[in-house]
Amino acid sequence: MPRSNRPRRASAGKRPNKWTQAADGPSVEGMGLAAPSRESARDGQWHVRRISGSRAEKHYVCPGCHLEIPPGVEHVVAWRADDWMGDQVSAAARRHWHSHCWRTRIGK
Protein backbone atom coordinates (compact mmCIF):
# COMPACT_ATOMS: atom_id res chain seq x y z
CA MET A 1 0.00 0.00 0.00
CA PRO A 2 1.49 3.41 -0.96
CA ARG A 3 2.25 5.95 1.76
CA SER A 4 0.24 9.13 1.94
CA ASN A 5 2.06 12.46 1.83
CA ARG A 6 -0.62 14.21 3.80
CA PRO A 7 0.21 15.09 7.43
CA ARG A 8 -1.66 13.17 10.07
CA ARG A 9 -4.19 14.85 12.26
CA ALA A 10 -3.05 15.66 15.77
CA SER A 11 -5.00 13.65 18.29
CA ALA A 12 -6.30 15.51 21.32
CA GLY A 13 -4.61 13.28 23.91
CA LYS A 14 -1.32 12.75 22.12
CA ARG A 15 1.82 13.46 24.14
CA PRO A 16 4.47 15.65 22.50
CA ASN A 17 7.69 13.83 21.66
CA LYS A 18 11.12 14.85 22.91
CA TRP A 19 11.73 17.03 19.84
CA THR A 20 8.65 19.20 20.38
CA GLN A 21 9.59 22.77 21.17
CA ALA A 22 7.80 25.17 23.44
CA ALA A 23 6.81 28.62 22.18
CA ASP A 24 10.01 30.13 23.64
CA GLY A 25 12.41 27.44 22.36
CA PRO A 26 13.36 23.87 23.15
CA SER A 27 12.74 22.60 26.65
CA VAL A 28 15.57 21.39 28.86
CA GLU A 29 13.83 18.04 29.33
CA GLY A 30 13.45 17.65 25.57
CA MET A 31 17.21 17.87 25.12
CA GLY A 32 17.87 15.20 27.75
CA LEU A 33 19.59 17.64 30.10
CA ALA A 34 18.98 18.20 33.78
CA ALA A 35 17.99 21.67 34.90
CA PRO A 36 20.96 23.64 36.25
CA SER A 37 21.35 24.10 39.98
CA ARG A 38 22.43 27.38 41.53
CA GLU A 39 25.58 27.49 43.66
CA SER A 40 27.30 30.19 45.66
CA ALA A 41 31.03 30.78 45.47
CA ARG A 42 33.42 33.42 46.75
CA ASP A 43 33.03 35.30 43.47
CA GLY A 44 29.22 35.20 43.21
CA GLN A 45 26.33 33.01 42.13
CA TRP A 46 26.70 30.34 39.42
CA HIS A 47 24.37 28.13 37.39
CA VAL A 48 25.85 24.62 37.37
CA ARG A 49 24.82 21.65 35.23
CA ARG A 50 26.28 18.16 35.69
CA ILE A 51 27.05 16.35 32.41
CA SER A 52 27.13 12.55 32.56
CA GLY A 53 29.83 10.62 30.77
CA SER A 54 27.33 9.26 28.25
CA ARG A 55 26.25 12.82 27.29
CA ALA A 56 29.82 14.19 27.02
CA GLU A 57 30.55 14.03 23.30
CA LYS A 58 33.19 16.73 22.67
CA HIS A 59 36.67 17.68 23.80
CA TYR A 60 36.89 20.64 26.21
CA VAL A 61 39.69 22.34 28.12
CA CYS A 62 39.08 22.81 31.84
CA PRO A 63 39.69 26.43 32.92
CA GLY A 64 40.75 25.20 36.38
CA CYS A 65 43.68 22.96 35.44
CA HIS A 66 44.00 23.73 31.70
CA LEU A 67 43.89 20.00 30.88
CA GLU A 68 41.63 18.36 28.34
CA ILE A 69 38.24 16.88 29.22
CA PRO A 70 37.90 14.05 26.68
CA PRO A 71 34.54 12.72 25.43
CA GLY A 72 32.93 10.25 27.80
CA VAL A 73 34.17 11.93 30.99
CA GLU A 74 31.62 13.22 33.49
CA HIS A 75 32.08 16.95 34.13
CA VAL A 76 30.37 20.23 35.08
CA VAL A 77 29.21 23.17 32.97
CA ALA A 78 29.07 26.49 34.83
CA TRP A 79 28.10 30.07 34.02
CA ARG A 80 27.45 33.17 36.13
CA ALA A 81 23.99 33.64 37.59
CA ASP A 82 24.56 37.24 38.66
CA ASP A 83 26.01 38.71 35.46
CA TRP A 84 24.88 42.31 34.96
CA MET A 85 24.34 41.64 31.24
CA GLY A 86 21.81 38.85 31.92
CA ASP A 87 21.58 35.09 31.75
CA GLN A 88 21.63 34.87 27.93
CA VAL A 89 25.04 36.56 27.66
CA SER A 90 26.33 34.66 30.66
CA ALA A 91 25.18 31.30 29.25
CA ALA A 92 27.03 32.03 26.02
CA ALA A 93 30.23 32.32 28.08
CA ARG A 94 29.74 29.02 29.95
CA ARG A 95 32.74 26.81 30.66
CA HIS A 96 33.22 23.06 31.05
CA TRP A 97 35.10 22.04 34.23
CA HIS A 98 36.36 18.75 35.62
CA SER A 99 34.07 17.95 38.56
CA HIS A 100 37.05 17.92 40.95
CA CYS A 101 38.38 21.25 39.66
CA TRP A 102 34.96 22.86 40.13
CA ARG A 103 34.59 21.52 43.70
CA THR A 104 38.11 22.70 44.55
CA ARG A 105 37.46 26.15 43.03
CA ILE A 106 34.36 26.87 45.09
CA GLY A 107 35.81 25.43 48.28
CA LYS A 108 33.57 22.38 48.76
- Domain residue extents for the chain: 36-105
* pTM higher than the cut 0.85: no
Distances (CA, A) of 45 to 6, 77, 84: 50, 14, 12
pLDDT tens for the 108 residues of the chain, in order = 566 666 666 555 555 544 444 444 444 444 446 677 888 888 888 889 999 988 889 999 999 999 999 999 999 998 888 776 666 677 777 899 999 999 888 555
